[in-house]
Structure 1
Amino acid sequence: MLRVFRPKSIFVGIYGGILVVVVAVSLIAYLTMHWANKQRAQEYTEQMSTAVFHITAIAVARQQVDQRALWLQDASLLLDAPMRLLSALPIELSNHEQTRLAQGYTVVRSSGKGSDVYIRVPLPGKPSYLATRIAGIGEQQARAAANFYLEDLANYPDQEALRLKTLAPFVGFPMALVPLKQVRLDRDQRLRLEQDEIVVSFGELSSSGERSAMSVFAPSQSSPGQVLVLGPFSLFDPLPFQGLVLAIVLALLFITLGSYWVIHNFEVKLLALSSTVQRLREGDLMARATVDSVDEIGRLAETLNHMTSHIKRLLDSQRELTQAVSHELRTPLARLRFGMEMMAGSPDEEDRFRQLDLLDEDIDQLNQLIDEILTYANLQQSRPQLDFEALDMNALLERIARETQALGKPAKLTVVIDDGLVIQSVERYAHRVIQNLVGNALRYADHDVRVTLRRDGDSVELWVEDDGPGIPEAQRERVFEPFTRLDDSRTRSTGGYGLGLSIVSRIVHWFEGTIRVEASRQLGGARFVMRWPVKPSGRHNALT
């Protein structure tokens, strides 16, 4: 378990990156929430201050000039906010603030000390501004505003509803004069209304109870039996930072657990791969990665296993080839040694020349064997150079027929081929395949050998048949193994080294084709059937 947390662990690297991202996102979320709360607080303060101080500015403008100072003093006590009149604002206004003042709304700016704000509002029809500093809009300010609205409505007898409609844009919440009997309050609150007290009621803005609200009920002095109802209007509720912190902590916890589970699984798979590679490095070619998954690591493990199997096959083939080559070389070398001893001890010159000819034949045999071995070894490479080009198969088979007739074999060769058959192939390898198959058939045929080459859709099919003894079904797969000679008639007496069909098998593999051995129905001997595409893709799997 502790290995997961080692300094260069994939878990530490990936989770460290995730942690950095989460912290960065959390910081951004915190700053965004702080900015959002600040903007919401600014908008809420602007709205509520306009609702309170616009009507206050109207009341100030309605006072006589010599009475304004005294009225402001009393109003300041009611609002718990010191107010004064300014002929000009001592601040530079933004375009937004200028627009708000021009429309009669308040301008709110932070004082920079705690939660206090500066509020400025224009006096209607006057070149003056009402300025104050206040910690917030609360119950006391709401009561004072209700008094100012009642005083204003007293100036519009029988037109209260129209006046309230005129003031509505500066309020932002419902206002109405309603009969006392329609007001929904408890017994104590109704009793206080009947005693001409202003009642402030708190409740919920909606049935969900998510936002608190406040309503103000003020009995009208100019319209007995009527109550001015302000609200309900919501109280400012900042977005909770505690919730953000809790969400961040929980997110980090779940990310940690999830990342550990996911990345630990990856590490287990990587450790399995590492263990397998370590065993391979120590020479254990039977080691295989046991990763049961379909992800990238699973595919990597599968590729590693295929590669290991391929390397083992190559090494086994090399070992078998070395043993077989040693065995095959031993006979001609023994004959060479024997011939040289005979030639050295023979007094007859004619006999020495005859022994020399035999030595020359053994040397030719060694050259042929070496050539076969080099060809087979070259085709055992993972990626031989195969440059496919257009090849006229009619001309190729005519050439092979001429070369076969020149050998003077007793068996008759018959060639059947589609006219004008041209495919994409490599001439020297195609020649080697057909020549080896034909030569193998001639070696074991009694009288007849037949070669058939025809096109079948996008593929080419080649049949090479003979009327010889055939190949037993149990041994048909072995004929493609290197240095393999079968019993009965297919022995050393027929010649060859057992590499010809192995070479054919490798060439067919790189031609992306198949080859098999079966019994010839027409001639009775063996029939080799080779099938390969007319246009090979050239992208054969190197590990096959």
Structure 2
Amino acid sequence: MNRLFFRFFVLVMLSITAATFVIYFAISRLFGDPLEDIARRQAAAQIFVLEQYVDQAPADEWLPRLNKVREVSDVHFEIIPLATARAALPASRRAQLDRGEVVIDPVARAFYRRVDTKGNRYVGSDEEAILAQDLPIDIGFALKMEVVRYVIVALALLIPIALWSRAHWKALQSLSRVADDFGSGNLSARAHLHRRDAVYPLAERINHMADRIQGLMEAQRNLLHSVSHEVRTPIARLEFALELLRDAAGNPALDKRITAMEGDLNELKDLVNELLSMSKLDAKQELHTEPVEVNDMLRSLVDGLTPPPEQMSQNISPALGDIECDRRLLCRAIDNLLRNAVKYSNGHVALSAQRAGQQLEIVVEDNGPGIPEEEREKIFEPFYRLDRSRDRATGGFGLGLSIAQKAVRLHGGTLHIETSESLGGARMVVRLPAKD
């Protein structure tokens, strides 16, 4: 946000500077160089003496009057060949000199003018020019005046723009905080702006959008929670009925069918439990944190794997220390990753953990087929499963990774999937903040 307004400020300053140069060149093109006009005003007395005193003398008095001016003036008047004067001027100014006009050279603090164009002053006067040097011209003073004008114009524009931008900046900062809070899971976050704020209509639309999203999320959560609870009752009835049926049955074929039905019922119970876990994670705002020894937690998770993988590699740093976390939730997340790796591996699973500064990194790898790059974001969506895992034997419900990601995010961490360079399968990386 600060970068946005800094860029805006720089753009305004560049625009003012560009406008200043455009105005200068436009005026120079249309009306002549402003600096030359200032210099001409500063040399107006000397030009007046030349035109109104020296030039007004009769032909035989012209030179004596010029000499009198030389005696009393601090300006050095000199008669030079016309060719020398033309050579000292740029080509664009020579036509003025040829017409008999006064040509100012502000940098040299001088001006040029022909003695006359017809040679009436004296013999050969049409081939000579007057050079007046050491004129009281101070371009530096004129430039300071221009700078002062520029600064005044810039301030006159920037101060209102700064006040206007500050109001917008504060309002946008408020919207940014609301977006951050809403994105972090606080669905009740809203923007509270005054009606006179320029971004108030945007804030109203954001609040309306947030209301709809919150309503949809709560409706989805309530539906999921209610359905999961309601399904438990018929499941319990079915379990009781199957037990009675098994006690009454003596047919092996019927017993086999009852066993299959019990398997389906257990699968349905597992699905309901997963759905309840999802709804609890969605509704959870605060964690019941406690210091947890990371090495003991990881060892207990590896020991609890059933069935265990054929080969289990461990590279766990002995100095992981403690981490403040909700032990049950974090164990559930890491356990889901381990079980997922065991399920889709070709027998080899690797677990590694290390601590770098204020970050704990836990990595679970396997030598299975891996996860395509285009599927790595979708795999965390609830009920999403890859095509190769849609069968009931290995597919699960597609909720394990989603639950793991939600649990890690509640702890302020991240979970992402890569390709394992050592094993060739999936590499799941958990990064958690771990303050010393």
Q: Give me the TM-score of the superposition, normalised by structure 2.
A: 0.47
More helix by share: 2
